[in-house]
Amino acid sequence: MEEKTLYTITIFSENTVGVLNQITTIFTRRQLNIETLSVSPSAIKGIHKFTITTFSDSEEDMIKLVRQIDKRVDIIKAYYNINEDLIHQELALYKLATEKVLEHGSIEYLVRKYNIRILEVSKDCVVFLKAGHYAETQALFEELSQQIGVLQFIRSGRIAITKAKVERLSDMLASREERYKKLEITDN
């Protein structure tokens, strides 16, 4: 088996009903599993940003995927990156029984080692937060499971920002609009 690469697909879209459906249909048709998904309003009002990760053994397939997504009328721009192009991050929350945490004895060591933030402590439970790459949040999960036991665990989809200098979306939209103002559509 060829080694698969994790690709991050970033999509800017109009904030209309059903955009996610349009995007996932294209993943389904190309038989790609979505590993993680994160959606939020972007810096530009009315434009939403999707960050999706998926494994593939072919960069060509990623080019085709992105073009087919980009082609949808409600999609403004779609592109793909590999991990090396990106600063990326996930969030994880871990719920532990307070009683077990107190019994553990060296919580400070764990907190320092994993850079854990403690969000909540109550009579029943303690909630940890860790931000990081998948491997980091996973390592903490495994260590906590072994040593304390995890009552609940949740990890967010990836969010990412490119390292390279890229054209800003607002500039791209402005130049597109300028181009269409000049365009004379002739019909013979």
Partner 1 sequence: MKENNAEIPIIQGSEALIRSLLNEGVDTIFGYPGGAIMPVFDALYDHKNEIRHILVRHEQGAVHAAQGYARVSRKVGVALVTSGPGATNAVTGITDAMMDSTPLVVISGQVSSNLLGSDAFQEADVIGITQPITKWAYQIRRVEDIPWAVSRAFYIASTGRPGPVVLDIAKDAQNNKCPYSYSKTEFLRSYDPYPEVEMDYIKEAASIINQAKKPLALVGQGVILGKAEKELISFLEKADIPFGSTILGLSAVPSDHLLNCGMLGMHGNVAPNIKTNECDVLIAIGMRFDDRVTGDLKTYAKQAKVIHFDIDKAEIDKNVKTTVRVLGDAKITLPLVTDLIDKNSHSAWIDEFKPLKQKEVDCIINNELYPDEGEIHMGEVINKVTEATQNKAVCVTDVGQQQMMATRYFKFTQSRSMVTSGGLGTMGFGLPAGIGAKYGAPDRTVCIFVGDGGLQMTIQELGTIMEYGINVKIIVLNNNFLGMVRQWQELFYDERYSETHMKNPDFVKIADAYNIKGRKVVDRADLDEAISEMLSYDGAYLLEVVVETKGMVYPMVPAGSSVTNIILGNGYKL
Binding site for partner 1 (CB under 8 A): 13-14, 16-18, 21-22, 25, 29, 60, 63-64, 67-68, 70-71, 73-76, 173, 176-177, 179-181, 183, 185, 187-188
**Nearer Cβ to partner 1 (29/163):** 29
Residue with tokens 């949740």: 154
**Nearer Cβ to partner 1 (165/182):** 182
**Nearer Cβ to partner 1 (27/128):** 27
* Residues near 91 by beta carbon (within 8 Å), at least 6 away in sequence: 129, 130, 131, 137, 155, 156
**Nearer Cβ to partner 1 (15/152):** 15
Residue 65 Cβ vs partner 1, minimum distance, rounded to whole Å: 10
Residue 99 Cβ vs partner 1, minimum distance, rounded to whole Å: 45
Residue 25 Cβ vs partner 1, minimum distance, rounded to whole Å: 5
Residue 7 Cβ vs partner 1, minimum distance, rounded to whole Å: 17
**Nearer Cβ to partner 1 (39/125):** 39
Query: Tell me, what DSSP letter sits at residue 34?
Result: -
* Residues near 14 by beta carbon (within 8 Å), at least 6 away in sequence: 46, 47, 48, 74, 75, 76
What does the block give as tokens for 150?
Answer: 């995890």
Tell me the residue ranges of DSSP E strands in the chain.
5-14, 36-41, 47-56, 75-82, 86-97, 117-121, 125-132, 152-155, 159-162
Beta strands at 5-14 and 75-82: parallel, antiparallel or unpaired: antiparallel
Residue 35 Cβ vs partner 1, minimum distance, rounded to whole Å: 22
